[in-house]
A = this chain, B = another copy of it.
Amino acid sequence: MNRLFIFLCCLAPSLAAPGDEGLWLFNQPPRRQLLERYHFDATDAWLRHLQKASIRFNSGGSGSFISRDGLLISNHHVGADALQKLSSEKKDYLKNGFYARTRAGEIKCLDLELNVLESIEDVTARVNAAVPAEADPAAAFAARRSVIAAIEKESLEQTGLRSDVVTLWQGGAYHLYRYKRYTDVRLVFAPEQQMAFYGGDPDNFEFPRCDLDICIFRAYENGQPARIDDFLHFSPQGPRDGDLVLVSGNPGRTSRLLTVAELEELRDTALPFRLESLKWRESLLDSWSARGEENARRAKDALFGVKNARKLFDGELAGLLDPSLPAAKTAAESDFKARLAGRPDGADALAAFDKIAAASKILGGQFVKYSLIEGAQGFNSETFRLARVLLRAAEERPKPNGQRLREFSDSGRASLELALLSDKPIYADLETLTLADSLAFLACRLGADDPLVQRVLNGKPPPARAAELIHGSKVRQSAFRRQLYEGGAAAVDAARDPMIELARAVDAKARALRKTFEEQTEVKSQAHAALARARNALDGNAGYPDATFTLRMAFGTVQGIRETGLETPPMTTFASLYAKAEEMKGRPPFNLTPLWTARKTSVNMKTPLDFISTADIIGGNSGSPVVDRAGDFVGIIFDGNLQSLSWDYAFSDAEGRAVSVDSAAILEALEHVYRAKLLVSEILTGKAGQRDRL
């Protein structure tokens, strides 16, 4: 349990028991807490089974295996990226849903990579030993990058597994994660997006909710369904109010261990800029989507992502603007500093606060430029992003492995190529639209007279420049990308592709920004490592690190919300869904699809649909399995409520809740709405036997 948690308990005095905080490492699980609080013994075997049944979606999200024949489940909004890429003007799987009634009907996703965590190894000592104590930030960063690349490559060569060194505790520890990769992943079932995301943006991050946010795939190996030993048994009932539930997934990023200086930088620089950029894009995509159905289809997944992030960051900003949060953080920091004073290791830790503050200031000062140029938000288009990968791959690949930009290291090569050479559709009209808009945004933020802006616009207004770049570039063709990628610098130079030339024209500036970013992050890493050492010396090595899009475990209970005078029960049912549609008179986004309208009389209205729990989650946990004490699948995380949005900075279960689809709802809908009986049978038996005979 970390100190922040103890402190926050005092902030929420109405709670009788402390909250169920924690995004726990699988190699440092909360065994004691589960025993003490829930009399539950999470054995090694129990944990190992859950770990190996859990899946990371490399596109951003989580999932789990639910049959020994490779069947796996995640959220619809996690699968949406794959659905969008498989869709066309004629076949809109994102909107209309999909069900493969035969094995042969399962459709291979274009560039989806799944990872299953096989092992974790602590490599902190080796990483730190490679960094000279007196090295300046640039040298220290280079040394650290080099040793990490070497560890990863070594592991890949030895095991054949994807090998990532993960930075934990903001630099306090380095663990090597080894993953089994699945890249032949086929779509089995998706509901209509309207039902998966019922209530749309208005209901996003809210509860009560009535969403069937699921998507079912199957992993293949060598052209056959993958044989999975560790898959989750599916509970037909789902959990009851008050039940202990456990969550296994890949929370993306939290900022709970940040210092006050880092939080202030987030609040005053990073979040406002991110929100501006998102609202700018939302307005554009909304109005373009309204112009026609095919526009709306093309922009759908991007628009969902933008609206989702906008609402998320709005909530996070509201959290940081609540003076009680910075006040609590400041008090905790003062208290920590007071305890450090006079200790032999105290000076290092106290100095670390100043180093972090200084680095934050430098990073904050270049944040906007960094986001626009190195983050490519000023050139918002898939064409630019791919063009830059081609340009940089040609420059980086001839370098020694340890000296390359991280994304070009040998250990990440297979994943990079999967994404780069994908046959996903890229629409010239949408690309031109987003590029033109982001060029205008770039000019707004840097000023039209900025030399880089002038170089980028090349004497033309943004719409004309965008059209010229997009239509003049061949980067959208995967064969062209393959040719340039394999041909290296000579091929890239010879192509004179206008988008690659744009990437080249801004690359010196982009790399300079990145260099500062890397060096100052190195400064912060070393300082956070000092803080972690001091914390461990004071309180023992007991907590959990901030989220890093790696596998974590969380736990909590199914629990409603008691606000001033208002009680929200922990579950909705199918009846809630139909009642809501009636109350809103079917007005979008509260309309039902024709199928759900037609099957109204077929479903059991009392079946639970969605439920909330106090389990600690964050973005990236989407699709995480929710299991009971037996390790059975009782639900799937798909959202947190508005009050959970500040969990990025501090957990509190006073009103914050994780939102899941109930396992009972999944069976009810598959059987009585979609009439997918053989899929239900595979889920219930864990075996695919019968489906083939259809």
Contacts and interface: CB of A to CB of B under 8 A. Distances in A.
A331 interface: no
Contacts of A276: 276, 279-280, 444
A448 B318 contact: no
A188 B323 CA distance: 52
Identical copies in the complex: 2
A239 to B, nearest CB: 29
B293 A589 contact: no
Contacts of A528: none
How many chain A residues sit at the interface, stated as a range, is 35 or more
Given A202-B290, A323-B457, A317 B283 contact: no
A297 to B, nearest CB: 12
Nearest to A293: B587
B323 A460 contact: yes
Nearest to A280: B279
Contacts of A305: none
B264 A445 contact: no
A291 interface: yes
A40 to B, nearest CB: 36
Contacts of A472: none
Interface string A432-475: 00000000100111011100000001011111100000000000
Contact of A461 (B264, B318, B585): B318
A287 interface: yes
Given A280-B279, A448-B268, A449-B264, A202 B321 contact: no
Query: A interface, by DSSP: helix, strand, loop or mixed?
Result: helix
A462 B279 contact: no
Contact of A320 (B310, B448, B588): B448
A202 B286 CA distance: 9
Interface in A280-319: 280, 282-283, 286-288, 290-293, 307, 310-311, 314, 317-319
A268 to B, nearest CB: 5
B282 A321 contact: no
A337 interface: no
Given A323-B461, A461-B322, A440 B317 contact: yes
Contacts of A311: 287
A175 interface: no
A351 interface: no
B320 A290 contact: no
A584 to B, nearest CB: 7
A669 B349 CA distance: 78
A293 B587 CA distance: 8
A323 B455 CA distance: 12
Contact of A293 (B310, B326, B585): B585
Interface of A: 200-202, 264, 267-268, 271-272, 275-276, 279-280, 282-283, 286-288, 290-293, 307, 310-311, 314, 317-323, 326, 440, 443-445, 447-449, 457, 459-464, 584-585, 587-589
List of 3 A-B pairs having minimum Cβ-Cβ separation, nearest first: A322-B461, A272-B444, A202-B291
